[in-house]
Structure 1
Amino acid sequence: MSAGVVMVDVAGTALSAEDAELLRHPQVGGLILFSRNFENLTQLQALVQAVRECSPDILIAVDHEGGRVQRFRTEFSAIPAMQSFLPDFRKNPQATLSAVRDVGWLMASELLATGIDISFAPVLDVDDHHCKVIADRAFSPEPLEVVQLAGAFMRGMHEAGMATTGKHFPGHGSVTGDSHLVQPVDERSFDEIAAHDLVPFKQLLPQLDAVMPAHIVFPQVDARPVGFSAHWLGRCLRQDMGFEGMIFSDDLSMAGAHSAGDYAARADAALGAGCDMVLVCNDRAGSWQVVKHLEACATAPSVRIASMRMRRRVHWDDLRQMSRWQHLVSGLPGIDAPAVAVGEPQQ
């Protein structure tokens, strides 16, 4: 069964009647979870199960990169910020790449064991020390170091059975503004961007299952934000780079998306530019506006959405018996072992 093209959120740790109604809407094909949806592992598993009962084919996602951006803490391994690997990488590249690969596997395995399909990871932005919202979420200020480190992280994700999502195309590291709060503008030419920010996206294309564009305007390339730009998504990403995977919009509630109009107009702009799925978070009225608008337009689902669902799943009890998991949570620098709940059910 094909899924709808809208990814929404829910308010709490259990589904309300309105949550369930929204999740059953034929234009809803995804759910993104936040820290507010998490109390403990048992509760999270119950929430995921309830979501699946409402919509068996729904894609469940979370931002669980590590460091500052890790939505679930208790009972999950504490994943370090990606840039924390950089000093060791410059001293001992091969050993560090092996560790980063293991961290990608660990992050993905624990989410998959919970029933969650994807983490929106990794960040492929090149950290130029301009953008505080990126900063240590990026692997490095050097494009080729990002390629090596992010490539290792994605290999680990794939080993676990999780699809990868590179963000924020074509790069968010060279602007000062946070696109959650403002509309960032980057005045560089395309050639400058291609020689720097685009390098990780180009070189890691074979490992990328999905891309999330930035809500940034590059006026020397296109007057529209990247996520609403057919030039960036259709010509540059699809045609010139040959990317055939999934394109997620970034959250349409962010300030960087407001220039396109109301929520319905933002969804039309993102889908028209080439996005396969649009995210509408933290605004229930906006979510309803989008799904009702797209229902009236008879918007067709994307066949690419199914490719992002989990490729294999190991239950938590089995994961904890794996020597790789035990080794990582007990011995890898920067990884804190999760606390195990007594009597936790396997689901």
Structure 2
Amino acid sequence: MSAAPSCVDKVYGAMTGPQRVGQLFMGAVTASSPDRQKIQLMRQSHVGSVFLAGRSSAGTRATKALVDSLQAQADTVAGKRVSLLVSTDQEGGHVQVLSGPGFSAIPSALTQGSWSTSYLRSQAATWAEQLGAAGVNLNLAPVADVVPASVGRNNAPIGGYDREFGHTAATVTPHSNAFAAGMARSKVLATLKHFPGLGSVRGNTDTTANVVDSVTTRTSSSLDPFRSGIKAGAPFVMISSATYSRIDPKHQAVFSSTVIKDMLRKDFGFKGVVVSDDLGQAVAVKAVPPADRAVNFLSAGGDLVLTIEPTQIPAMAKAVQTRMAQNSAFRDQVDQSVHRVLAAKQREGLLSCG
């Protein structure tokens, strides 16, 4: 195993400071109509990951052409390209960014949850193959949130769109695992979301401020799908922007070291990449200046800042660099985060030291 870290260390060692910081960001590109100015801005900030956003019915071939053009602009370090993590939301039902020729119409997670796990695993492997054909290597799915039947459609972010695999941890856990395993089988990285769960809230953090979960504790059974998925080797976990009053009432989860460092890293033993929910346009974080959003998330133990609004990245990156210069503990933490992102890229074949 000793060869693996040395490749990451080699690339890391050859990077400039701004290149390292750029690996901590994932900026959105509208899949159907990419904004060249925003792409150029991300390139100038050395952004290491992109999120295909919106809705595109252009199909796999056209999407691949877009992704190839983005990959061609990725940074080179010591003469070798450090390729981009290219992600999207390909859950199914209401949440399927990419469709058209070459893509299946994916049913909702609630429907997927009624299937046998072996059938779901094989279907997910097919969907991941389609993503791979389009150049996508990271899916921001599965949704591991448990929406209790008593809440159901009154849960705006998940239940309102049938994004949950079921109403109990006993249903969600094996189906979330099967979806992630199918993705892995076809070499697409999966992301468990939205830790520590959005199943017991009412408001949608994308469109609502002050969303609070007053139910979930550090030992709730609704955490089982995350615990099980992490044990199975989930490479990415996305953090929710809600506040969990029985876990850390003073901080939104995405800014909470109790949630990220204590629960996710220590209690659950997660060693992969921690990605934020959208820190760009989400109403849940509007009260926090963009620069502080990035610094606070990374300080809390996060690794990869997702923003639907890439124009915020220069200010965010500058704030991160400033804090690194002032604070050695923060600097060490950022170094670890960059290493985690690069390690994920290496496992995905996006990094070569040959």
TM over 0.5: yes
Alpha-carbon distance between aligned partners in 1 of 2:55 and 2:109, rounded to the nearest angstrom: 23
> Aligned match of 2:294 in 244, 263, 267?
267
Is 2:270 the partner of 1:246? no
Aligned to 1:188: 215
The 1:200/1:189 distance shift into structure 2, 3 A limit, reads closer
- Counterpart mapping for 1:1-347 below 5 A: 1-2=11-12, 4-11=23-30, 13=32, 16-36=35-55, 39-55=58-74, 56=81, 57-75=83-101, 76-87=103-114, 89=115, 96-128=116-148, 129=152, 130-135=154-159, 136-182=162-208, 183-188=210-215, 190=217, 194-207=219-232, 208-222=234-248, 223-252=250-279, 253-259=281-287, 261-281=288-308, 283-297=309-323, 300=335, 302-309=338-345, 311=348
Residue 274 of structure 1 aligns to a residue whose secondary structure is coil
The 1:171/1:248 distance shift into structure 2, 3 A limit, reads same
Shift of residue 174, structure 1, vs aligned partner: 0.6
Structure with greater proportional strand content: 2
CA-atom RMSD in angstroms: 2.2
State whether residues 249 and 277 of structure 1, in contact with CA within 8 Å, keep that contact through their aligned partners in structure 2: yes
Shift of residue 83, structure 1, vs aligned partner: 1.0
Letter in 1 for 2:155: C
Shift of residue 38, structure 1, vs aligned partner: 5.6
Alpha-carbon distance between aligned partners in 1 of 2:39 and 2:282, rounded to the nearest angstrom: 24
State whether residues 30 and 52 of structure 2, in contact with CA within 8 Å, keep that contact through their aligned partners in structure 1: no
State whether residues 38 and 310 of structure 2, in contact with CA within 8 Å, keep that contact through their aligned partners in structure 1: no
Alpha-carbon distance between aligned partners in 2 of 1:12 and 1:61, rounded to the nearest angstrom: 11
Shift of residue 147, structure 1, vs aligned partner: 1.0
Alpha-carbon distance between aligned partners in 1 of 2:269 and 2:56, rounded to the nearest angstrom: 37
Alpha-carbon distance between aligned partners in 2 of 1:174 and 1:196, rounded to the nearest angstrom: 12
State whether residues 15 and 50 of structure 1, in contact with CA within 8 Å, keep that contact through their aligned partners in structure 2: no
Identity of aligned residues (%): 28
State whether residues 27 and 291 of structure 1, in contact with CA within 8 Å, keep that contact through their aligned partners in structure 2: no
TM-score, normalized by length of structure 1?
0.80
Shift of residue 152, structure 1, vs aligned partner: 1.4
Residue 176 of structure 1 aligns to a residue whose secondary structure is coil
Letter in 2 for 1:293: A
The 1:85/1:19 distance shift into structure 2, 3 A limit, reads closer
Give 5+ residue unaligned stretches, structure 1: 90-95, 314-347
Shift of residue 20, structure 1, vs aligned partner: 3.9
State whether residues 38 and 72 of structure 1, in contact with CA within 8 Å, keep that contact through their aligned partners in structure 2: yes
Residue 286 of structure 2 aligns to a residue whose secondary structure is helix
Letter in 2 for 1:280: T
Alpha-carbon distance between aligned partners in 1 of 2:198 and 2:56, rounded to the nearest angstrom: 27
The 1:221/1:268 distance shift into structure 2, 3 A limit, reads same
Residue 285 of structure 2 aligns to a residue whose secondary structure is helix
Alpha-carbon distance between aligned partners in 2 of 1:25 and 1:160, rounded to the nearest angstrom: 32
Shift of residue 79, structure 1, vs aligned partner: 1.1
Residue 48 of structure 2 aligns to a residue whose secondary structure is strand
Aligned to 1:325: none
Alpha-carbon distance between aligned partners in 2 of 1:103 and 1:127, rounded to the nearest angstrom: 23
State whether residues 56 and 99 of structure 2, in contact with CA within 8 Å, keep that contact through their aligned partners in structure 1: no
- Could you list the per-position Cα deviations for residues 238-264 of structure 1 after superposition, in whole angstroms to 9, with x for gaps in the alignment? 1122111110011002112234x2000
Alpha-carbon distance between aligned partners in 1 of 2:139 and 2:274, rounded to the nearest angstrom: 14
Q: How many residues align?
A: 302
State whether residues 160 and 312 of structure 1, in contact with CA within 8 Å, keep that contact through their aligned partners in structure 2: no
Letter in 2 for 1:109: E
Alpha-carbon distance between aligned partners in 2 of 1:195 and 1:186, rounded to the nearest angstrom: 12
- Could you list the per-position Cα deviations for residues 66-117 of structure 1 after superposition, in whole angstroms to 9, with x for gaps in the alignment? 1111011111111111111344x4xxxxxx1111001210111111111111
The 1:53/1:204 distance shift into structure 2, 3 A limit, reads same
Shift of residue 189, structure 1, vs aligned partner: 5.5
